[in-house]
Amino acid sequence: MGQGLAGTWLSWWLRQAGVSFKLIDQPDPNGASFRAAGLINPVTGRRLVNTWMIDELMPFASAAYREIGNFLHESFIEETSVIDFFPSVQMLQAFQKRYEEDHLYLVPGEDREKYAGWFRYDLGWGAIQPAWLVSVDKILTAWRNRLQKMDLMVEEVFDISKLNQSPGKVEYSDIQARYIIFCDGKSSSGNPFFKRLPFALNKGEGMLVEINEIPSKQVFKKGMSLVPYKENIFWLGSSYEWEFNDDQPSETFRNQAESWLHHFLKSPFRIIEHFAAIRPATLERKPFVGFHPLYPHIGILNGMGTKGCSLSPYFAKQLTNLITGQGTIHPLADINRFERVLRR
């Protein structure tokens, strides 16, 4: 159940494998998947280290998005680069040090003034490439429409009290199945079967901003990021709040974002929308994939955090392979690593 990125990819691979299913989901335009920037960035953190498994994840994801795009006659992914303007001397030095160690995804900005007509920056820039940009809202909507046409979508709020299990099957309302798999984002942190897993939910805020006079094919980063969204519209974000009282946009973030835009941009801008969502992150920053050790017909595909665009296609395929007897789950993602906790 759940049709964010994880549920979308699991249902896609199940269909490709010829496994029958029903997807239960209540539309939520403010869900973390729907609000994601869609950027697959091969490096991460202040030290610009390679993202976990990126050498395997990135080519797999780019091929998978093209495959589903060909099926739906849409384009969901394009190559881009991240232009990283150094906000501090420390970040400049971190880029230089990392480039000396590994050239694979980093390109020094030789022409220091290349972007000076559009942005204010003092310490130069470097590029991260290749990166990939996914049209998340577009793929979620297109696949949902196809599932509805195939009568594979049940649009309702999932009521876990209606879930019954018996040897060899699970039942929910009038649906009988061999498995139920929860792909329900932040909700799984309160799920009675999986609430013991070490989720680390965090709140992120972002904006959609109209800017007419800057290049529209690259991501621009200086602390915060401007990510191409639609024509002349950029996704701006994001914040990471580990302590929060609600999932609503805050005045604090709006003020910070507006100040950042005024200081960074030389072009006029217009804020179109301000939004917030709760990310289903995990303490280990690794996904939760697999079946419950006490309830082998109840599974989970969750915990993608900020890396849903790259992690979801790959681990949904691994889970599908497990279901069809054709593979196993990566040990650092398999929930069997928490077997002792889940058996309590």
CATH of the domain at 226: 3.30.9.10
Task: Check whether 235 has a pLDDT greater than 80.
Answer: yes
Residue 244 located in a structural domain: yes
- Does one domain contain both 266 and 144? no
Could you check whether the bond before residue 130 is cis, i.e. omega within 30 degrees of 0? Answer: yes
pLDDT value of position 238: 86
- 144 phi, psi to nearest 5 deg: -60, -45
User: Among 279, 309, 327, where does a domain finish?
Assistant: 279
Task: Check whether 31 has a pLDDT greater than 90.
Answer: no
Q: How many domains does the chain have?
A: 2
pLDDT value of position 32: 79
- Confidence label for 1 from pLDDT (cuts 50, 70 and 90): confident
β-strand partners of 44:
49
Top mean-pLDDT range of 20-34, 234-248, 255-269: 255-269
Secondary structure of the chain in the HEC alphabet? CCCCHHHHHHHHHHHHCCCCCCEECCCCCCCCCCCCCCEECCEECCCCEECCCHHHHHHHHHHHHHHHHHHHCCCCEEEEEEEEECCCHHHHHHHHHHHHHCCCCEEECCCCCCCCCCECCCCCEEEEEEEEEECHHHHHHHHHHHHHHCCCEECCCCCHHHEEEECCEEEECCEEECCEEECCHHHHHHCCCCCCCCECCEEEEEEEEECCCCCCCCEEEECEEEEEEECCEEEEECCCECCCCCCCCCHHHHHHHHHHHHHHECCCCEEEEEEEEEECCECCCCCEEEECCCCCCEEEEECCHHHHHHHHHHHHHHHHHHHCCCCCCCCCCEHHHHHHHHCC
Over residues 136-164, the pLDDT tens digits come to 999 999 999 999 999 999 999 999 999 99
Residue 241 located in a structural domain: yes
- Does one domain contain both 240 and 147? no
Residue 75 located in a structural domain: no
- Confidence label for 33 from pLDDT (cuts 50, 70 and 90): confident
- Does one domain contain both 196 and 322? yes
State which amino acid sits at residue 15. R
Task: Check whether 332 has a pLDDT greater than 80.
Answer: yes
- Does one domain contain both 302 and 186? yes
User: Among 237, 262, 279, where does a domain finish?
Assistant: 279
Task: Check whether 229 has a pLDDT greater than 80.
Answer: yes
Task: Check whether 46 has a pLDDT greater than 90.
Answer: no
State the helix-helix crossing angle for 54-72 and 308-323, rounded to 10 degrees: 80
pLDDT value of position 194: 97
Over residues 282-304, the pLDDT tens digits come to 999 999 999 999 999 999 999 99
- Does one domain contain both 275 and 299? no
Q: Distance between CA 141 and CA 124 in Å, rounded?
A: 39
- Does one domain contain both 210 and 184? no
Residue 98 located in a structural domain: no
CATH of the domain at 178: 3.50.50.60
Task: Check whether 30 has a pLDDT greater than 80.
Answer: no
pLDDT value of position 20: 97
- Does one domain contain both 219 and 251? yes
Residue 112 located in a structural domain: no
- Confidence label for 188 from pLDDT (cuts 50, 70 and 90): very high
Residue 99 located in a structural domain: no
Q: Which of 292, 41, 296 is nearest to 167 (CA)?
A: 296
Rounded mean pLDDT of 14-18?
98
User: Among 279, 296, 327, where does a domain finish?
Assistant: 279
Average pLDDT along the chain = 95
Residue 109 located in a structural domain: no
pLDDT value of position 168: 85
pLDDT value of position 167: 84
Rounded mean pLDDT of 155-182?
94
Say how many CA atoms lie within 13 Å of 313 toward its Cβ: 22
Residue 71 located in a structural domain: no
Domain extent for 26: 5-33+138-200+283-337
- Does one domain contain both 143 and 168? yes
Of all residues in the chain, what percent carry a pLDDT higher than 90? 92
pLDDT value of position 29: 77
Task: Check whether 129 has a pLDDT greater than 80.
Answer: yes
